[in-house]
Structure formats: structure tokens, C-alpha cells
Amino acid sequence: MTARRRSFPFRTFFSELAGTALLLLVGLSVVIVMFGAGSPAARIVPGEAIRRAITGFLFGLTGAAIAVSPLGKASGAHINPAVSFGFWFAGKLNPEIFGVYVSAQLAGAILGCLPLLLWGRLGRSVIYGATVPGEGHGLAAAFAGEVLTTFAMITLLCVFLAFRNLRRFTPLLFPPLYSLMVAIEAPVSGTSTNPARSLGPAVVSGRWDGWWIYWTGPLLGAFLALLLFRAFARRIEVAKLYHFDTNPDRLYPVRRGKEPSRALARD
């Protein structure tokens, strides 16, 4: 008998699209307000490192809010191709659903960045939050920065998601983690850790400096983290960052090469 054709997972697609769009719209608006030329934020918080820490915290808080929201309940709130790649590499996503996630995230990134044009001169002064190698730092340094920061993020995700007593706190990981990483590493590469986060502002600003860094760096960082911490990755039960036991998508297998159980197959 031929396998029953699966219907397209529209709920997953649109949840990832909307979640990624919200992440970039809110997060990059914070970047523009904090660092745009003429913004009062520089007078209120004169220390650049402190502003970077606040920006990273609010960016991470936005991602955490999406994870616990109904959008996160529907798709798992990956909102990052590197995270979806990690779940796929760990055997928690079928290849076809992995493609759905990434296409939704890239489309959402572009749609979420289009309203940033309304910031006008303030947004243009910081190229709408585009990630480019920092002044005085070469491509190699920016690439290494993306590898290391994504490695740290995926490693911590593996640890939190691997243990039931930790995994409910997974969204709380992002605000302090990105606060620290952005404060320290943003002058080197912009601290993307997310190809979709870099694609959106590159499209609206037209700045593609070192664009390949923001694909290869996060994907390599995710690959290395999963390679070194595969024992943790094996313990992950479902490809979500929150809402682990509610309405998991029927296309999330627990192990590579095996069909989801009947419990996981319910929509």
C-alpha cells in the first residue's frame, strides 16, 4: 500500500512565519531606538555596552514571549533556521517539515522587516539593524563570533530541553543569554545566531556585507554543539521550546526514521 499523503502543515508554517516576523519587527525596532542617530536612548543610557546588554535582553525576551504564546504552542517557536537545523540533525524533525520551517522563517523575516522602513532616517542610520562585520574586525573574526555564540545557544538549548525538570524554564534562557552575548560579541559580528534575523534587514537595507557568515556561522555552531552534546540531544522528546505536551504536530518524530507514535500523531 502506498503511504497516505500528508497535508501541508499550514498551522506550523504560518505560526513560524508570524513568530519570526514578530521577533524581527520588535527586536530590530529596539535596536533602532537604542542605536539610531539622534535617538534619545544614547542620552538616557550613555554606556554603549549597557545599551547592547539591554537590547540583547529585550530581543531574547521577545523570543521567549513568542515561545510561550499560542504561536509557540502551534509550531514550537523555532523562529530560527539554526534551531530547526538542530532539531532536524538530532532526528526530531522529518526532512519535509524542516523545509517548511525554514521557508516560513525566511519569509517571515522579510515581512517582519518591511515595516522597519517606517523608522525613516533613524532606521537608515543603523541600516535597520542589519548584521555586518564590525569596524576593525575581519571576516574571520565575525565568522568565529557567529560560530561561538550559536554554539553556546544550541548547547544550552540541548541541556535545558534534555531534562524534564529544566525544560519548562527554556524560554527564560534567552533574555540573559542574549544580553550577555550581545554586550560582548555584537561589536564583532552583530550577534545574529540566526540566518533569518540577518536576511530580513539585509533585504530592506540592501547591505549584504559578509552575508555568507550569517548562514555558515550559525549552522556550523549548531552542528558542533549537537556533535559534542549528542547525549543531551538524544533525550529531547519533541521539537518545541515550550508547550511540550500539548498538540504536538504529527510531523514531529521522536527518533529519526520512525513514525510518530499515536499520541504524537494527534493534531
CATH number at residue 122: 1.20.1080.10
Confidence band (pLDDT; 50, 70, 90) for 254?
Answer: very low
Please, which pLDDT band fits residue 231 given cuts at 50, 70 and 90? Answer: very high
Q: Does position 259 have pLDDT exceeding 50, yes or no?
A: no
Cβ neighbours of residue 182 closer than 8 Å, sequence gap 6 or more: 52, 53, 55, 56, 59, 191
Has residue 51 got a pLDDT over 70? yes
Q: Do the beta carbons of residue 77 and residue 242 sit within 8 Å?
A: yes
Indicate the number of domains in the chain. Answer: 1
Q: Determine the Cα–Cα distance for residues 53 and 117; give it in Å rounded to an integer.
A: 24
Contacts of 208 (CB under 8 A, 6+ apart): 202
In the three-class reduction of DSSP (H, G, I as helix; E, B as strand; rest coil), residue 24 is classed as helix
Q: Compute CA distances 153 → 97, 126, 198, 213, 258, whole Å.
A: 22, 25, 17, 17, 28
Question: pLDDT band at residue 265, thresholds of 50, 70 and 90?
Answer: very low
Tell me the average pLDDT across 202-214: 96
CA dihedral 108, 110, 112, 114 (to 10 degrees): -150
Gap between the Cα atoms of 136 and 2, Å rounded: 59
Per-residue pLDDT averaged across 79-100, rounded?
95
Report pLDDT for 134: 93
Query: Is 103 inside any structural domain?
Result: yes
Buried b (16+ CB within 10 A) or exposed e, 58-83: bbbbbbbbbbbbebbbbbbbbbbbbb
Q: Average the pLDDT over each of 110-114, 119-123, 176-180, 261-265 and give the range with the smallest value.
A: 261-265
210: Cβ–Cβ under 8 A, 6 or more apart, which residues?
132, 133, 139, 142, 143
Dist CA 231 CA 119 (whole Å):
46
DSSP letter for each residue of 144-171: HHHHHHHHHHHHHHHHHHH-HHHHTTGG
Average pLDDT on 108-114 reads 98
Assess if residue 202 is contained within a domain. yes
Give the residue among 222, 139, 212, 148 at the shortest CA–CA distance from 185. 148
Query: Are 214 and 131 spatial neighbours (Cβ–Cβ below 8 Å)?
Result: yes
Question: Within a domain: residue 1?
Answer: no
pLDDT of residue 133: 96
Inter-CA distances, 64 with 11, 68, 253, 267, Å: 20, 7, 24, 24
Please tell me the number of Cα atoms within 13 Å of 61 on its side-chain side: 9
Residue 5: inside a domain, yes or no?
no
What confidence tens digit (pLDDT) does each residue in 26-45 have? 999 999 999 999 999 989 99
Looking at the chain, the number of H-run helices and the number of E-run strands are 14, 0
d(CA 20, CA 102): 10
Residue 255 pLDDT class (50, 70, 90 cuts): very low
Domain that holds residue 66: 10-265
Over 70: is that where the pLDDT of 266 sits?
Answer: no
- 161 located within any domain: yes
More confidently predicted of 179 and 245 = 179
Closest CA to 102 of 8, 26, 12: 12
